[in-house]
Amino acid sequence: MIDTILTLIKPTDHPSVTQSLIVVMLVVAVGIFMGNLKIRKISFGMSAIMFSGLILGHYGYTVEHNTLEFLRDFGLVLFVYGIGIQVGVSFFSSLKNDGLKFNLLAIFTILLGGLVAIIIFMVSGQSIENVVGMMSGAVTNTPGLGAAKSVLVEFQQQFPDRKFADPAVAYAITYPFGVFGIILLMIMAKKLLRIDIKKEHDAFITESVSNESVPIVKKVRITNEEPVGKTLKEIVDMFGKEKVIFSRLKRTGSTQVLSPSAETVLEFLDVLMMVGYKDDLDKIIAYLGRESSDTMVEKEEGIIAKTLIVTNNAVVHKTLEDLDMYNRYDLKVTRIFRSGRELLAHPKLNLFFGDKIAVVGNKWSVQQAEKMIGNSEKKLLEPDFFSIFGGLILGIIVGSIPFLIPSFPVPIKLGFAAGPLLVALFLSRYGGIGMIHTYINHGAIHFMKDMGISLFFATVGIYAGKHFYENFVTYNGWEWIGYGALITFIPLIFMVIIGRFVMKINFLKLIGIMSATYTDPAALSFSNQYFNSDIPTQSYVTVYPMATIMRILIAQLLILILASGMV
């Protein structure tokens, strides 16, 4: 028995599938332990799994070839799909505000990094495979490495007589400095630019308040003569159907609270409760009379307010107008809570699985709506594997579609990195397709992402670690680290200068953009702790999807154009 156990855990050049799985789990376990160690507030987190793989790979641990390829690609698919689902809704909504500006800055930085890589390729004599590996490691971009390797597989099939270098080796050598490089620049930028973090934080709060676009509740008393005798429908038509929702009404001299209909006629000194955006409500209040402090209109006798969770597949993708809950149950829907955002309910708004809807009505009407909507917290906690794997299948299919480009030796594909990411972003934006929905609770999303990146880092580390020392000596690893440092620092310096002095971006937002452009969760974690703020996370989420896609495309294009000798 002891001999059997020793056989399973001892390094071997020809491991079985069982031995391979044990090696991968061992690498992940050791890497997580290493990642939790902190040196002056800096920890590698999940990235340490790759270093664990390098060490164990160096000492003879290997993984069966087909098993390694499967776990590497499956891990990458899980990771990018989880990212896409997590940030999809906020990504598209952010493009309406500062998101477009942030993403343009990120794209410029990425293109500049690609230009630096091309210059290194032209003057150093290094193969483009190694340069792309250096670039991916220097900007800590794992999906870009995966995309480059997938293109090289296509090249190898097209040109079986040619020998291509493995970019994972250069990636492994330059990756550590890529992690530390961005952290170092953050610290240097703060000191050289003499940034006052408290001042930046206060400026962010002031800006957020002034740009706030969250539905609020206000009460108004009818004290003007003009609206008296008009119906609520006339008031709504006057100011716009998507500007306000009248949820409650109390007549003067009465304690009874009603849920008013569109045909309700306004009387002098009526008190109305409204839901809408601040600027719109202020205009309506000015027309109707004055803001009220009446608390009787808020009472829960007869009229109650409740938040219901959409868990019934029969109502998913239907609009509030389709459900017609007011005419069916005398019920008002006032707000929708979706992926951390609060939306004003309007008739054309589609419902997504996992949406939370705020309703106002009597006890019976709320109960009927609850039956229609689902409101099952248990169902919400259970991951829908049909939707998850259905989305993954769509992502893999999209990533596998070849795009023929004239004069390119092989067709370009989005691959296992960009394909699932794009599908996840669009599914998340539109709530799904058919029976595939995109609601996954936060715990399941984090599990998917962490499991995926763990498998990818472990397999890449083990593979690169097998000949890491020999490769470091053979290819002069210090020289590669130097090239990687150029790719890390030059674009970042330009980003800080342009972002701070030209675009006038808040410094706490800027370091989030820096972390996202370099797809570096370790740098984000450091910035949140070092600057004692979660503001960087908000801009990180805005930029990360576009940065990931651009990194993937740049890595593929460099391989396609330069490895084929087109220039």
- Asked if 327 and 438 sit in the same domain, the reply is no
Query: Is the residue at 305 inside a domain?
Result: no
- Cβ–Cβ < 8 Å for 416, 150: yes
Q: Which domain holds residue 363?
A: 312-375
Query: Is the residue at 255 inside a domain?
Result: no
- Please state the pTM of the whole predicted model: 0.69
Q: What is the pLDDT of residue 111?
A: 94
State how far the Cα of 152 lies from the Cα of 556, in Å rounded to an integer. Answer: 9
Among 348, 375, 402, the domain boundary falls at: 375
Query: Is the residue at 289 inside a domain?
Result: no
**Considering just the CA atoms, what is the radius of gyration of the chain in Å?**
28
Q: What is the pLDDT of residue 486?
A: 93
For the residues 385-413, what does the mean pLDDT come to? 77
Query: Is the residue at 88 inside a domain?
Result: yes
- Asked if 401 and 537 sit in the same domain, the reply is yes
- Asked if 437 and 328 sit in the same domain, the reply is no
Q: What is the pLDDT of residue 106?
A: 92
Higher pLDDT, 436 or 186: 186
CATH number at residue 331: 3.30.70.1450
Q: What is the pLDDT of residue 4?
A: 67
Nearest to 60 by CA among 439, 457, 465, 363: 465
Residue 52 scores a pLDDT above 80: yes
Q: How far is CA 423 from CA 87, 225, 354, 455, in A?
A: 12, 55, 19, 21
For the residues 249-276, what does the mean pLDDT come to? 83
CA angle 162, 164, 170 (to 5 degrees): 170
Q: Return the top range by mean pLDDT from 132-136, 200-204, 402-406, 475-479.
A: 132-136
- Asked if 56 and 164 sit in the same domain, the reply is yes
From the centroid of its chain, how far is CA 345? 25
Where does the pLDDT of residue 364 fall: very low under 50, low under 70, confident under 90, or very high at 90 and above? confident
Percent with pLDDT over 70 in the chain: 86
Two structure tokens written together for 536: 């960087």
Lowest mean pLDDT among 31-45, 171-185, 214-228: 31-45
Query: Is the residue at 538 inside a domain?
Result: yes
- Asked if 369 and 390 sit in the same domain, the reply is no
Higher pLDDT, 332 or 233: 233
For the residues 400-415, what does the mean pLDDT come to? 70
- Cβ–Cβ < 8 Å for 553, 398: no
Where does the pLDDT of residue 94 fall: very low under 50, low under 70, confident under 90, or very high at 90 and above? low
SS3 call for 129: helix
Mean pLDDT, all residues of the chain: 80
For the residues 510-532, what does the mean pLDDT come to? 78
State how far the Cα of 131 lies from the Cα of 45, in Å rounded to an integer. Answer: 26
Among 375, 400, 421, the domain boundary falls at: 375
Query: Is the residue at 237 inside a domain?
Result: no
Alpha helices by DSSP H, listed for 159-293, are 167-192, 197-210, 232-239, 278-288
- Asked if 197 and 131 sit in the same domain, the reply is yes
- Asked if 128 and 87 sit in the same domain, the reply is yes
Q: Return the top range by mean pLDDT from 134-148, 169-183, 419-433, 492-506.
A: 492-506
Residue 454 scores a pLDDT above 80: yes
Q: What is the pLDDT of residue 1?
A: 63
Residue 108 scores a pLDDT above 90: yes
How buried is 490 (Cβ within 10 angstroms: 0-12 exposed, 13-18 middle, 19+ buried)?
middle
Residue 233 scores a pLDDT above 70: yes
Among 340, 358, 375, the domain boundary falls at: 375
- Cβ–Cβ < 8 Å for 412, 536: no
Task: Name the region of 146 (left: φ>0; alpha: ψ -120 to 50; beta: rest).
Answer: alpha
Residue 179 CA neighbour count, 13 Å, CB half: 20
Residue 32 scores a pLDDT above 80: yes
Alpha helices by DSSP H, listed for 139-166, are 142-158
For tokens 């961005």, what's the residue? Answer: 182
Where does the pLDDT of residue 8 fall: very low under 50, low under 70, confident under 90, or very high at 90 and above? low
- Asked if 357 and 466 sit in the same domain, the reply is no
Q: What is the pLDDT of residue 525?
A: 65
- Asked if 10 and 110 sit in the same domain, the reply is yes
Quick: pLDDT tens for 111-157. Answer: 999 999 999 999 988 888 889 888 988 888 877 887 787 777 777 77
Percent with pLDDT over 90 in the chain: 6
For the residues 10-31, what does the mean pLDDT come to? 80
Q: What is the pLDDT of residue 567?
A: 45
| β-sheet with 289-291: strand ranges across | 257-258, 244-250, 271-276, 216-222, 289-291
- Asked if 437 and 367 sit in the same domain, the reply is no
Write the DSSP symbol of residue 260: -
CA dihedral 53, 55, 58, 64 (to 10 degrees): -20
Q: What is the pLDDT of residue 487?
A: 92
Q: What is the pLDDT of residue 469?
A: 73
- Asked if 360 and 408 sit in the same domain, the reply is no
Query: Is the residue at 293 inside a domain?
Result: no
Domain count for the chain: 2
- Asked if 418 and 484 sit in the same domain, the reply is yes
For the residues 321-338, what does the mean pLDDT come to? 76
Q: What is the pLDDT of residue 40?
A: 64
Residue 251 identity (one-letter amino acid): R
State how far the Cα of 374 lies from the Cα of 371, in Å rounded to an integer. Answer: 5
Residue 398 identity (one-letter amino acid): V
Q: How far is CA 267 from CA 237, 244, 270, 275, 549, in A?
A: 18, 19, 6, 20, 58
Nearest to 543 by CA among 489, 504, 495: 495
Quick: pLDDT tens for 476-501. Answer: 778 888 899 999 999 999 999 999 89
- Cβ–Cβ < 8 Å for 271, 297: yes
Query: Is the residue at 299 inside a domain?
Result: no
